[in-house]
Structure 1
Amino acid sequence: MSDQKQKYSKELLFGIVSNDIDRIINTEHSDPHSVLGAHPANIGNEDGTIFRAFHPDATSAEIVFEDRRVAMHNSEALGIFWCFLPELKPPLTYRVAFHFSDGTIWESDTPYRFMPTLGEQDLYYFAEGRHLHLYEKLGAHLREVDGVKGVSFAVWAPNAKRVSVIGNFNFWDGRLYPMRSMGVSGVWELFIPNLDADELYKFEIKTAEGHLRTKTDPYAFYMELRPGTASVTWDMNAYSWSDDAWMEERKAKDLINSPMNIYEVHLGSWLRFHEENNRWGTYKEIAPLLVEHMKTYGFTHVELMPIMEHPFDASWGYQVTGYFAPTSRFGTPDDFKFFVDFLHQHGIGVILDWVPAHFPRDDFSLRFFDGTALYEHADPRQGEHRDWGTLIFNYGRNEVRNFLLGNALFWLDKYHIDGLRVDAVASMLYLDYSKNEGEWIPNKYGGNENLEAIEFIKEFNETVYGRFPGCFTVAEESTAWTGVTTPTYLGGLGFGFKWDMGWMHDTLKYFSKDPIHRSFHHNDLTFSMMYAYSENFILPLSHDEVVYGKGSLLRKMPGDDLQKFANLRLLYGYMFTHTGKKLLMAGAEFGTWNEWDHESSLERHLLQYSVHEGISRFLSDLGKLYLEDSSLWKWDAKHEGFSWIDCNDYMSSVLAYIRRGPEGFLVIALNFTPVQRNGYRVGVPEPGDYVEVINSDSEFYGGTNIGNSGRIGTISGRQHGYGQFLELTLPPYGCLILRKG
């Protein structure tokens, strides 16, 4: 008999080949459950159970039953312990106690006596890319198996030689809890009994080349605060929601024909406590303050810059390493549920920025996950965003698409999120996005469209709208791609809304100009109505416009300080009376001088100054008017909702138009110069008195109080195609909003 056969002679007698023993010892076995644990056996014509356990550092081991302890044999194979007990038949409840040379004992239940927690149907739909509740199967889940509470772990790593669960519960030793391969699916699974919430864990992966990689769970529900990178077990079903009324009402809401005034917030800079070492506010601390603040300005929704876990504060959350984990910077997953719940109870919707376009290169996360380019493309011409230093998802792989689709549904399902704003859509649509010739690979037809990404986007939108009535999606898409908000069955991408980047760019370019030059750029203001009904637009003045040296909105304005404030009020007036939903970055309500800074808090102290308080009052009144008067939103998607009175007076740099709804109309007149215009004629549809419901030059807002004394009557005569007109005094840099009454 050879030396190897002598070494493993006892194991060979009990039905294990030497190769199995080698793979257990070297922690490379893809099915450790077939060796370890309790198995039926017949020894010497006697039926019973053989028990096997493995710990390479133990000197002895015992099987521990409720009423007795049985010593195990110490195999000549390093770390393998076994014993045969006749007449017993699995399944059996027992624990294993390992003894060590320093006298310590580690006693625990064994994971190797439990059946898999994933079924064939789960694996089939995952391989097809259509497992819509994948977040309930992969990752770490508190559950009860055979009457035993614990945590089931599952991870996709198809090219790994071995995957182990490591954590504080097994001393971060990858040799102790190797997982079971679920065959060609590439999924590895293990149920570890007696674990609970708040346990740190990771996956240790041995690659095909034998290298070890330590990875956070791609499906982790919670992660420790940076610079830590461990995943944390969490019970996703423990929180009790109180937003039933909101959720029921949401299902029937007509979003296109409803007001939508969005407040964009970076939670890390919205509330900080300077007296406490500039610490962040928590989800629970922020929620009531945010609700009160938003109500003041008539905001209907908050849009959170990504709150998914990320290691680098200065990425603002756009380089995600924990797609299923709300960042622990501000509290636990249940704390974030409280945040959403509280806002819903007070009538405010929650939108999340979502980043399926790319992910960072941090080695503890998705990059080169199982030793291969699993989530990304192997070819850098397909897999790299060089501008951002990030990697591009491989949308052609079913499991990757399922990961992203499941992630989107997860936030809508488990956190009751109302909308997802998809970041960097243009970078997904085009293979040559921000790339030079030779740095990208054409699609199969020779074009630059990313066909797999386009199909994913369509599937994402179809699934969101099909499964979550009342929820919506938004595209940040900066090109002229057609049909972004056209339904997929009509050939579009299927988003609910699109950021109007063209409006934003043209408007800010116009407002930044000295008024003496504005008459030559009048088209920058009027052009947006040429395409206003081609998509369902949101008008964004977002964080992107007030960072990286671009200056705050206030600093973009020309003139002296008072003129800057007047221009800013005029900008807001133009925005809120234009067709389309609205989005403002936090801080816009104060007219901040400084650019947005993710490490600073919202500059609330500015309200002690009258000019900033005036901006705040103006935006508050404008927001309330927007909510109260349906002519500003009810027919946003209909041509009847907007009509020009005069869009051609470029010499005076004046615009006049009507916003109309089923309940009435508003007349808007905007003067984009510092020149007061007296006796300015504006034709109106109906005779009678018109009330100035908003005058941006009111001294209440920090203006000079030039206007029309709050009310003005029509004069009979032809003007702008109407049979009567108003002879208005237009204040410098003024926005007038008038209502018949």
Structure 2
Amino acid sequence: MERELYEVMDWAAVEEIVYSESEDPHAILGPHKTDKGILVQAFFPGRESAALVYGKTKVPMEQVDESGFFACLIPGEKEAPRYRFVLTEEDGSELECEDPYRFMPELPEGELRKYKAGESTAAQSFLGAHEKKMGGVSGIRFAVFAPNAMRVSVVGDFNNWDGRVHELRRMGDSGIFAIFLPGVEAGALYKYEIKTYAREILLRADPYARAVESEGGSASAVAAAETPFAWEDEAYLEERALRFGKRPGEQAINIYELNLASFAAGASYEELAESLPAYLGKMHYTHVLLMPLLATREEASLGYLTSAYFTLSTKLGAAAGFRKLVNALHSAGIGVLMDWSCVRFPREEAGLDYFDGSTLYEENGSGDTAVFRFGRAEVQSFLFSNLCFLANEFHIDGVRVIDMASALWYRANENRNCYGGGENLDGASFLRRLSLMAHKKLPGFLLIADGSAEWPRTTEPVKNDGLGFDFRCNQGFADGMLSYLGADEAGKSERYGELSYAQLYQYSEQYVLPLSHTALSERQPTLMGRLGYLPFEERIALLRAFFGFVTAHPGKKLLFAGQEFGMLEPLQLGGELDFSLLDFPSHRELAACSEALNAFYLEHPALYEGDGDTEGFTFLNCHSYEENVVVFLRRAASEDLLVAVNFSGTSYPRFNLGVPYAGSYKEIFTTDEERFGGSGLLNPRALPARAMEVDDKELGIGIRLPAYSALFFACKKREPEKKVTPRAETEKSEEIKAKQKPESLLEKAADAAGKKAAGVAGKAADVAGKAKNAAGKAKDAAGRKAAGVAGKAADVAGAAKKRIDRAMGMENKK
């Protein structure tokens, strides 16, 4: 070795590189100024020779360590030239490559500060693998958060998965390691090799990867740059912000929950863009809730367990195809929601668990899944960024947060907070920050809690000590109603309280009524499957009535796919919706009823505006447990609707209902119409409220109430008669008198005298006297014609006098 080269080298640093334990490989590898010239050092394990080439100059490099450490001096140069390496292969061929340590990786300082503070909403823009160009050279910048690692390397096909070759540089005190690798192309597979201070070697996938290895592999992949998608949904997003930005609880929301792969066998995102919006529009759904579409290695998890939070599954096509689907749904006026697993992740090889040799992403715990460590700022930035990624990259309109209970409560006997309680205060704080961030940055974006956690004020604003969510799934309603449905008629009477139980807490939150896949798929029976105790046609009829009840009940609507037309068997993993059932009349009629109910729901504000207001709902009959009938009123500023639901198999030709006020009640919808397969027992005419004591009311109506039916009546309140003031009465009387003939005055006086007592008679006499005087004057002035009129007047006066005398006699008898 040349003496000059020996003197300028840092041999302790060389040892760090050789043993792969350097957290700052750029400090020794690559070009460095010295008094002797530019020192270039490189590590090529397994190579016998290497040379450095710049311009037309080729400088042989000396192997200073048998492990493959090479170095050379470029004398006379004050700045490092733009050079490349030439490596000799075993077969004598040469390989030319760039030196990655000639390029200093850079990360945005402002974003790093936000990331460390738990305020980043775009961490994926600088973490992960990104195509870059530095110094005119194209390559990939890799960056990963691993603060407790001794050393991090990126390994892949491009370096024979050798962790000694490309060690990353620790970026200050950020806990992030980064490197720029020239020549790496899109599609390359990679992982991070992490060496802990315990000398343990870990292989981890990239938490921020935008692509993953196909066919079940655990490696990440460098994603190709995408052509910008031409979105056409600006009008929808503006309307979304207006409708759901401030009072989402007053809007009509009808959600269709769907495993996208089950809608049409083998259909791609592009094909679904043609068929799905048309179906949802026809059925009058306002939103579709998709099961997770992120990449996962566990098919049985249906996408709910993933470590690839920034990678869309490619099973149905590329990301551009999914954007096309969302664009088409928005064009049809349908919002797109997605289940979001931001609470748990799977404990799997190469995943987030024990990522850098410490509990970096997870809380302490055991089992096949881990709960996120919500108290760590960088974990919050990871999850905030993921939510914004879904919203901004794919125009998702909202998420349902899965497994809220694990975010808000510790497992029994596992952990306690600083006050000794079982509440996960960090989890609650994260959810509050999540809602504040989402509502600020994503106008009209909906946050729905899955309802698994009993936590007060979930949908109250954060300023009121709430979690700030828009809605919470009312799992108690779903469980109770499914239990009620599954009972025979006698059992329904015993469980009758389930029909009204939700009203005990209905107004504590803004609710969604979730007839979800968790209760209606795989090992759980469908709605039709729960009614096996009934003959087939009665099962269909009862479902129609049930759908009517849910439509009228306070709370936004959510229905799992296939229930609207009566799926018989639960949807299995890899299965598809059995639309062939629509070839049968009964299923087709049930679907028609579902469609009509959905349209009716959207057309009537009384069914949604007052969902969170006690004035929007009143029970009129919640005591007919033997009949299994329930009656209630739904109110809005513009209308009132009376709803009667009969869950029994008995028809009532006349069923009396108490009504809240005088007026008429007109049936405007019934699930028992013949077009839906019903009996057609209708209430064709408006029913006036009559005096009857029923349901603790003084007024009532008698309706025809078919078996297994839900009836909707429009209520028209009778306007009270206008009261006339004394002054107006006097003016009207004088006006009439001026137009009346004397004969009419006398007749009126006589009639009045006959009805009243002495006082009335006196008034009549005065009128009669005036009439006589008027008759005399008329006789003198008008001659024969006037005399005739006077004669008639005298006759009338005489008759009046007789009535007066009779009336006075009756008064004396009294």
CA separation of 1:108/1:346 partners in 2, compared to 1, >3 Å: closer, same or farther? farther
Q: Would you say 1:40 and 2:33 are equivalent positions?
A: yes
Equivalent position of 2:604 in the other structure: 629
**Tell me, what secondary structure is at the counterpart of 2:435?**
helix
Q: 1:524 Cα shift?
A: 0.7
Q: 1:474 Cα shift?
A: 0.7
**Tell me, what secondary structure is at the counterpart of 1:75?**
strand
TM-score, normalised relative to structure 2: 0.83
Q: 1:37 Cα shift?
A: 1.6
One of 560, 563, 566 as aligned partner of 1:591: 566
| Partners of 1:66 and 1:373 in 2: CA distance | 50
Equivalent position of 2:330 in the other structure: 344
Equivalent position of 1:383 in the other structure: 365
Q: Would you say 1:447 and 2:426 are equivalent positions?
A: no
- Structure number with higher relative contact order (C-alpha < 8 Å, ≥ 6 residues apart): 1
Aligned partner of 1:717: which letter? A
1:74-126 CA distance string (max 9 Å, x none): 33443222332234444643332322112343323232122222144444333
1:370-411 CA distance string (max 9 Å, x none): 12222123xxxx423x4xx21122222222222222222222
**Tell me, what secondary structure is at the counterpart of 1:669?**
strand
Q: 1:546 Cα shift?
A: 1.4
Asked whether the 8 Å contact 2:672–2:706 carries over to 1, the reply is: yes
Q: Would you say 1:573 and 2:548 are equivalent positions?
A: yes
Q: Would you say 1:308 and 2:282 are equivalent positions?
A: no
Asked whether the 8 Å contact 2:665–2:689 carries over to 1, the reply is: no
| Partners of 1:463 and 1:372 in 2: CA distance | 28
| Partners of 1:20 and 1:328 in 2: CA distance | 44
| Partners of 2:435 and 2:697 in 1: CA distance | 44
One of 647, 658, 668 as aligned partner of 2:633: 658
Equivalent position of 1:529 in the other structure: 503
One of 168, 172, 187 as aligned partner of 2:176: 187
| Partners of 2:25 and 2:14 in 1: CA distance | 10
Equivalent position of 1:107 in the other structure: 96
One of 521, 524, 529 as aligned partner of 1:555: 529
One of 462, 486, 500 as aligned partner of 1:512: 486
What does 1:336-485 align with in structure 2 at a 5 Å threshold?
336-377=322-363, 382-384=364-366, 386=367, 389-432=368-411, 435=412, 439-485=413-459
Q: 1:547 Cα shift?
A: 3.3
Asked whether the 8 Å contact 1:204–1:214 carries over to 2, the reply is: yes
Q: 1:149 Cα shift?
A: 3.2
Asked whether the 8 Å contact 2:405–2:454 carries over to 1, the reply is: no
| Partners of 1:70 and 1:12 in 2: CA distance | 17
| Partners of 1:729 and 1:228 in 2: CA distance | 64
Equivalent position of 1:20 in the other structure: 13
Asked whether the 8 Å contact 2:664–2:689 carries over to 1, the reply is: no
Q: Would you say 1:673 and 2:659 are equivalent positions?
A: no
Asked whether the 8 Å contact 2:659–2:689 carries over to 1, the reply is: no
Asked whether the 8 Å contact 1:340–1:416 carries over to 2, the reply is: yes
Asked whether the 8 Å contact 1:222–1:333 carries over to 2, the reply is: no
CA separation of 1:33/1:679 partners in 2, compared to 1, >3 Å: closer, same or farther? same
Q: Unaligned stretches of 5+ in structure 1?
A: 1-6, 274-280
Aligned partner of 1:18: which letter? W
| Partners of 1:674 and 1:131 in 2: CA distance | 58
**Tell me, what secondary structure is at the counterpart of 2:173?**
helix
| Partners of 1:11 and 1:409 in 2: CA distance | 52
Q: Unaligned stretches of 5+ in structure 2?
A: 717-814
One of 162, 186, 194 as aligned partner of 1:173: 162
CA separation of 1:133/1:664 partners in 2, compared to 1, >3 Å: closer, same or farther? same
Select between 476-485 and 103-112 the one with higher mean Cα deviation.
Answer: 103-112
CA separation of 1:97/1:337 partners in 2, compared to 1, >3 Å: closer, same or farther? farther
CA separation of 1:50/1:574 partners in 2, compared to 1, >3 Å: closer, same or farther? same
Equivalent position of 1:698 in the other structure: 673
| Partners of 1:145 and 1:344 in 2: CA distance | 40
One of 130, 141, 164 as aligned partner of 1:141: 130
Equivalent position of 1:243 in the other structure: 233
CA separation of 1:232/1:17 partners in 2, compared to 1, >3 Å: closer, same or farther? same
Greater C-alpha Rg: 2
Select between 468-477 and 687-696 the one with higher mean Cα deviation.
Answer: 687-696
CA separation of 1:401/1:740 partners in 2, compared to 1, >3 Å: closer, same or farther? same
**Tell me, what secondary structure is at the counterpart of 2:600?**
helix
Asked whether the 8 Å contact 1:714–1:727 carries over to 2, the reply is: no
One of 545, 555, 559 as aligned partner of 2:519: 545
One of 287, 291, 304 as aligned partner of 2:277: 291
| Partners of 2:643 and 2:14 in 1: CA distance | 82
**Tell me, what secondary structure is at the counterpart of 2:576?**
coil
Aligned partner of 1:330: which letter? L
Equivalent position of 1:641 in the other structure: 616
One of 96, 102, 118 as aligned partner of 2:107: 118
Asked whether the 8 Å contact 2:408–2:453 carries over to 1, the reply is: no
CA separation of 1:92/1:457 partners in 2, compared to 1, >3 Å: closer, same or farther? farther
Q: 1:594 Cα shift?
A: 0.6
Select between 532-541 and 184-193 the one with higher mean Cα deviation.
Answer: 184-193
Select between 517-526 and 418-427 the one with higher mean Cα deviation.
Answer: 517-526
Structure ranking higher in helix proportion: 2
| Partners of 2:453 and 2:199 in 1: CA distance | 45
**Tell me, what secondary structure is at the counterpart of 1:309?**
coil
**Tell me, what secondary structure is at the counterpart of 1:323?**
coil
1:607-640 CA distance string (max 9 Å, x none): 1111111111111111111122222112222223
| Partners of 1:12 and 1:289 in 2: CA distance | 72
1:319-371 CA distance string (max 9 Å, x none): 11211111222222333223322222222111111112211111111111112
Equivalent position of 1:4 in the other structure: none
Aligned partner of 2:208: which letter? Y
| Partners of 2:505 and 2:550 in 1: CA distance | 16
CA separation of 1:64/1:680 partners in 2, compared to 1, >3 Å: closer, same or farther? farther
Q: 1:66 Cα shift?
A: 5.6
Asked whether the 8 Å contact 1:712–1:726 carries over to 2, the reply is: no
Aligned partner of 2:606: which letter? S
Q: Would you say 1:265 and 2:247 are equivalent positions?
A: no
| Partners of 1:639 and 1:90 in 2: CA distance | 77
TM-score, normalised relative to structure 1: 0.91
Q: 1:690 Cα shift?
A: 5.0
| Partners of 1:9 and 1:261 in 2: CA distance | 80
1:141-168 CA distance string (max 9 Å, x none): 2233344333211111122222111223
| Partners of 1:559 and 1:646 in 2: CA distance | 26
Aligned partner of 1:229: which letter? S
